[in-house]
Structure 1
Amino acid sequence: MTKRPQPVENSPPLLEVRKLYKSFGTPRRGEKLGPIIAVNDVSFSLASGECMAIVGESGSGKSTLARTLLRLVTADSGEVLYRGKDILTLSNAEMRVQRRNLQMVFQDPYASLHPRQNVRRLISEPWYIHPDVLERSNRPARISQLLEQVNLPEHFADLYPNQMSGGQRQRVAIARALALEPEILILDEPVSALDVSVQAQVIQVLMTLQERLGLAYIFISHDLALVRLLASKVAVMYRGAFVETGPTEQIFSNPKHEYTKTLLASSPGLNQVSANYKRVEQVTLRN
């Protein structure tokens, strides 16, 4: 099995989040209920080459946190420092440039890919927004390279989303996210919409890419067996807050918070990772 990548030792944080806070809605006059707090005083750091998993039940704030990091949702307060620069304070034009370094892969690949664009156009889309990243004459070769990196044949460039399986569509979404050569990928439940057998294909692609390219991942998932396989550290999120963080094996073998213990207790068989993931390198990636 591909070795779990480790963060670069003694390197400063690539991403540092400090006291991030996001709420939705304000009470009307006379109402006692306050706003819904989706992200509550969240702080963490991410090193180059590191995979940090964020786990928690549905509604705990994981996806809102991911979108807030990229300013797809506006934070109420806090800091998001990428290489020491707070991206929450950047102008829209400055943030557009900064997004080259932080890309996101969403849960549903069919919803995130335009149904009337073929793969060539889908992968090229970031270069239309950032035309200085790659000269037009070099784009066909780069598309072929990106398809190869996600284990798709070159002729897939002419296909449309409805001509591909869910796993193939997600690999196209990953290729598109890599087009700008980011340092960080935020993966929001990237395989939860796929069949278990197909999940293994996509996970193998992600592990290989991280090993080869030195990417840092923020991996959001409810699949604890998968988290144990991929992540070097874990943050447990409950009602918008991180209630426990630490190295993966420490969290799984010696959880401290009662909510973490409940999560682990509700996922039997964690001491033996799912056989589907154990055989991940044996999966044929052509499907």
Structure 2
Amino acid sequence: MVSGSRIIITMRKKSWNVRKVHRWLTLLFGIQLIIWAITGSFMVLMQLHYIHGDHLVQEADKPISEAALVELNVSQRFQDVVQAMPGATNVILVNRLVAGEFRYVFQVTANESKSLLTADGLEIVELTEGDILALAQRYYRPIQSRQAQVDRVEFLSESGPSELHPRHLPVWRVDFLDRRNTSLYLSAQTGELVTKRHRAWRWFDLAWMLHIMDYQERENISTPWILFFTITTFFIAITGSYLLLRHFSTRWWRQLWRK
């Protein structure tokens, strides 16, 4: 009889110590557990195609007619571009809005940089702020056929906001006054759309940052913080399971003692 009571007392002491550790760990790390639950649920519920913002934009360049291809002698022109720029790795002919009118230009990628060349004279095209503004309005897809007003046009050369990857620099940022809080980023050299951002994307990015605990680059899913919290959370789960088993085990001993 005495041995049974000693077992129960010993179990209670061990359970109390484990319960104390479990309680403090839950208090200290519970906030991050709640953040994981909220941000994880938010990201699961959001539709990725909406977050990507493809509904915000439309094609800005006009189609290229077959007559223009013949008139420009495109095959020969492509060879001329490669000879003029030996480092060219990608050459695309586009019909783009430049200086208030649509012009045939070559978009050339060479030595990890891009540029525009006129299709007729292979001269470098320098885009102005006015060109960027006109292109941004072409890219922007209106809400219910209503074109939003432009709030700001900003040139970013050396650094940009956290929502823009540095590899895209230099770019022009064009903000629109709409309920989606739309921002379009256009290449400073070519005027092509490099990325788009809106309110839902920014909320998703914030949730992603809090979820993976990478508060700077927001790309690393193996930060020391998340590894530490993951291990601690696993330990909380173990102690919680231990307490649960101890609870039922103690009840069993009590029932046995009463018999």
* Length-normalised TM-score, structure 1: 0.23
* Length-normalised TM-score, structure 2: 0.24
Looking at secondary structure, tell me which structure has more helix per residue: 2
Over alpha carbons, which structure has the higher Rg? Answer: 2
